[in-house]
Structure 1
Amino acid sequence: MSRRGFLAGLGAVGLGATVAACSSGGPSASGTSAGGTVDLTFWNGFTGGDGPVMQDLVDRFNAEHPAIAVRMTTMEWADFHAKLPAALTSGRGPHLAIQHLDSLPTSAARGLLLPLDDVAEDLTLTSDDFIGPVWDAGLYDGQRYGIPLDVHPLGFFFNTRVLADAGLDPDAPPMDRESYEAALDLLLDRGVAGHWMSPHTFTGGQTLQSLIWQFGGDLFDAEGATTAWARDEGVEALSWMVDAVHAGWSVRDVGQDADIIALQNGQAAFNWNGIWSVNTLDQISGLEWDVRRLPRIGSVDAAWAGSHNFVLTKQRGTTDAQLEAARTFVSWVSQQSAAWAVGGQVPARLSARDSAEFAALGPQSAIAEQADDLRFLPSVPGIGDAIGELYTALNEAVLLTKDPRDALRDAAARADQVLADNRDRYDA
């Protein structure tokens, strides 16, 4: 899945158009078409290489469950969040959807989602079969609102040809700070700026978060009420990125996506990017590349990750039959999550992650080795508004317009006000 595929979002169709998918008749009060089929609308943001994979799963589900007709569609995330409340109020929104983990508590606090504790119990889904942190992160205000489908972590991508040309072993890439910096020095001697530091959310923002955790810091306090990124650990993390620019390991003023393009073109050796880049790189003819878990630059193994979660919406006109059909669909796709990983994901279910089918996906399996070290944002409504201030600090510091400590301090003050305002807004 591309970076834009990660940002891209959930789409909508009118309820009448959805019903027409499996029957020429219109919907009845029971939520079924004239032919007796239960019709479901499913919104998601899989607009990249993962889209066809999910569509294949939907087609397979529909073929195996002739009494249920799922219609899938997509749109930009921003459009999704703007349209969802009105669509649900009018009864023309999705019956089920995918949301990123960091937006889930906001939607729950706005009353857009149904609690899923009973769904998890009915489907015998428990923490024992899921990556612990992502299962726990689906809770908000003591109730479950998300059923995790996957995790999509940051990975360490590298151009094997560039490493070999510099005399480095592509089969043994640098995985700690000392060897990583030594490799960057060697590459610089060969005229290659080895790791281009992005000043943008993608992928600089995820890199910075990973480094803050690796240096032993955190982004927020335990309750997600105040920021913690301006402490010494955060300053050390952002300073490492800025020092890479000063040292020449990175070029200056890296444009959006220029870091991974440089990897593709052989202008850079390393790139920390999302697992969604697997399919993008795999489609480039002649490119020699590989991927591992993130190197440990600090003292702790840690990596940023997001997660796609199934949610059921609180919508006027939804019937019991549609709710039951939605539960069936969520359970079925969850069981197929090893197949879903082909789209460039790590299954959230341990049984899928440990399967031979997933092990055969070399790049995804390599990134998944850090599954126990993945970190997620706290389950706080509006947390994305606050983390946006960290991205401003990143931009200022990596573009060399502000000292890292000052940038983080000022961003923390703004974010703390955002968090306070959100507590009032969401009565949290």
Structure 2
Amino acid sequence: MMHSEMSRRRLLGLGVGLGAAATLTLAGCGGGDDKEPAAAGNGGKEYTGPKVELNLWNGFTGGDGDIFKKLVTQFNAEHANIAVAVATYRWEDYYAKLPGAVSSGNGPDIAVMHMDQLATYAARGVITELDDVAKALELTDADFAPTVWQGGLYRDKRYGIPLDMHPLGFYYNKTVMQSAGLDPNKPPMTKDDYTAALTELKKSGVQGFWVSPFQFTGGMTFYSLLHQWGGTLFDAEVAKATFNSDPAVEACTWLVDMIKQGHSPANVGQDADYLALKSGKNAFNWNGIWQINDLKKSADVQWGVAPLPQIGSKPAAWANSHNFTIVKQRSTDANKVAGAKVFINWLSQHSLDWAAGGQVPARKAVREDAGFKALTEVGSLAPELDYAAFPPAAPGIGEVLTTFYQSFNEAALGKKSPKQALDDGAAKATKQLEDNRKKYGN
């Protein structure tokens, strides 16, 4: 986990700084005939044509990668006329490599992509529309969490079929809690209870809630709190940054005060907050759902996981989602496209097996399955779907979110006051949004 897994999940979240990779001029990309010839498929229900070989790219380099490959192997065994070959890269390499590969005609047929990347790659002509898949399979937001389903849209056209969602969760060390006189089976879920628990932990000599200045995980914690306080990162048109609003400043101040009040060390190193939870040096850690499987391997750690506590006026949690996309080719092969749609539909229907990798399935029917309910820890975070705060569907949003996280970093490290850090960051982010509208033609 502390090697490949942590490297992998850094890019699970938001495409930090990777939007630029998709701004390459994709000469020849999407140059194929958009009016595809007839193929032996019907939008993903079935494929009866000649055998096709499909290349699929993904960034599942951790334990979830093994589960993903097993599912692909099962699909291939059940479909004699479709053969899917998997290529796995680190997410940061994957997003940097994809535009150039597509431009040169060496891109994959299918690509797994985070929700926040869909608009960028759709705007650059890297991926193709999938409205016919949704129509043929009669998929609507009723089959998914509405927020996840809507996240696959760009300019009212569908480019992604959601596979899962991965939110932040609230991890707690039961042993540390018990040592401080707290009930290890009742983690604090309100602002008052959270403050009271931290006070008791401090009395016992424990800094209970370490605040990381980095995106993973302090920045994502602030992202969640900002929405809990009723703030937003951007206005409705994603034309202006609003993460310096009064609610945002209040949320940031609350988190920075954790350091000032001695509940967290200053200048916490990358991942040190999570390692401290595992080693019993702190009690609480807001981290991604992907840590569940790592903790399940840690037999010496007594831990629990729950939805994020509600510190602000309403529940909210940072989240992102993996989506399947079909990549545009220089010359469209209608049979390959038809086969790719069958694979996407099949994997979506089999996402219960995928959930074992530490993801909440996007499909409602799978989440309601008894098999998913048996995945106690992962299932405990499924309610966050109702109030998950997903990134907006806007091209180039990755660089803008990097600015947001850098602003929090400056506040958490005490380089600037929360208000000054957020004011400066919002001004820069608004300029980036303006540049993106020019760059992507919005």
TM-score tier by shorter-chain length is over 0.9
CA shift, 1:369, in A, is 1.9
Give the whole-Å Cα distance in 2 for the aligned partners of 1:77 and 1:370. Answer: 25
Aligned to 2:415: 401
Matched, 1:4 2:7: yes
Residues 40 and 322, structure 1, Cα contact 8 Å, conserved in 2: yes
Query: How big is each residue's C-alpha offset from its partner over 1:367-387, in whole Å with a ceiling of 9 and x where there is no partner?
Result: 112220111111110111111
Computed over aligned residues only, the root mean square deviation of the Cα atoms, in angstroms, reads 1.6
Segment drifting more, 308-317 vs 291-300: 308-317
State the AA in 2 paired with 1:72: V
Unaligned 5+ residue runs, structure 2?
A: 16-38, 40-49
Aligned to 1:140: 154
| Secondary structure of 1:39 counterpart | strand
State the AA in 2 paired with 1:7: R
Using CA pairs under 8 Å that are at least 6 residues apart, name the structure with larger relative contact order, 1 or 2: 2
| Aligned 1:153-232 pairs, distance under 5 A | 153-232=167-246
CA shift, 1:8, in A, is 5.1
Matched, 1:368 2:371: no
State the AA in 2 paired with 1:383: I
Residues 164 and 170, structure 1, Cα contact 8 Å, conserved in 2: yes
Query: How big is each residue's C-alpha offset from its partner over 1:228-247, in whole Å with a ceiling of 9 and x where there is no partner?
Result: 11011000111011100011
Query: How big is each residue's C-alpha offset from its partner over 1:36-94, in whole Å with a ceiling of 9 and x where there is no partner?
Result: 63100010111111111101100110111121110111112232222222212333211
State the AA in 2 paired with 1:319: D
Residues 187 and 194, structure 1, Cα contact 8 Å, conserved in 2: yes
- Choose from 304, 326, 332 the match for 1:290: 304
Aligned to 2:343: 329
Give the whole-Å Cα distance in 2 for the aligned partners of 1:326 and 1:263. Answer: 42
Aligned to 2:130: 116
Residues 3 and 277, structure 1, Cα contact 8 Å, conserved in 2: no
Residues 40 and 69, structure 1, Cα contact 8 Å, conserved in 2: yes
| Aligned 1:21-420 pairs, distance under 5 A | 37-420=51-434
Give the whole-Å Cα distance in 2 for the aligned partners of 1:5 and 1:349. Answer: 24
State the AA in 2 paired with 1:61: F
State the AA in 2 paired with 1:290: G
Give the whole-Å Cα distance in 1 for the aligned partners of 2:441 and 2:383. Answer: 39
Give the whole-Å Cα distance in 1 for the aligned partners of 2:191 and 2:152. Answer: 33
Residues 224 and 317, structure 2, Cα contact 8 Å, conserved in 1: yes
Q: Give the fraction of aligned pairs with identical amino acids, expressed as a percent.
A: 50
Residues 229 and 408, structure 1, Cα contact 8 Å, conserved in 2: yes
Unaligned 5+ residue runs, structure 1?
A: 11-29, 31-35
Residues 8 and 47, structure 1, Cα contact 8 Å, conserved in 2: no
CA shift, 1:200, in A, is 0.1
Residues 176 and 296, structure 1, Cα contact 8 Å, conserved in 2: yes
Give the whole-Å Cα distance in 2 for the aligned partners of 1:223 and 1:76. Answer: 32
Give the whole-Å Cα distance in 2 for the aligned partners of 1:175 and 1:82. Answer: 40
Residues 8 and 91, structure 2, Cα contact 8 Å, conserved in 1: no
State the AA in 2 paired with 1:259: D
| Secondary structure of 2:116 counterpart | coil
| Secondary structure of 1:155 counterpart | strand
Residues 223 and 378, structure 1, Cα contact 8 Å, conserved in 2: no
Give the whole-Å Cα distance in 1 for the aligned partners of 2:8 and 2:257. Answer: 31
| Secondary structure of 2:211 counterpart | coil
Extract structure 1 runs of 4+ deviating beyond 3 A: 7-10
State the AA in 1 paired with 2:208: G
Residues 8 and 46, structure 1, Cα contact 8 Å, conserved in 2: no
Query: How big is each residue's C-alpha offset from its partner over 1:344-369, in whole Å with a ceiling of 9 and x where there is no partner?
Result: 00011111111111101111111112
State the AA in 1 paired with 2:236: A
Give the whole-Å Cα distance in 2 for the aligned partners of 1:397 and 1:113. Answer: 38
Segment drifting more, 270-279 vs 392-401: 392-401
Give the whole-Å Cα distance in 1 for the aligned partners of 2:326 and 2:431. Answer: 31
State the AA in 1 paired with 2:209: H
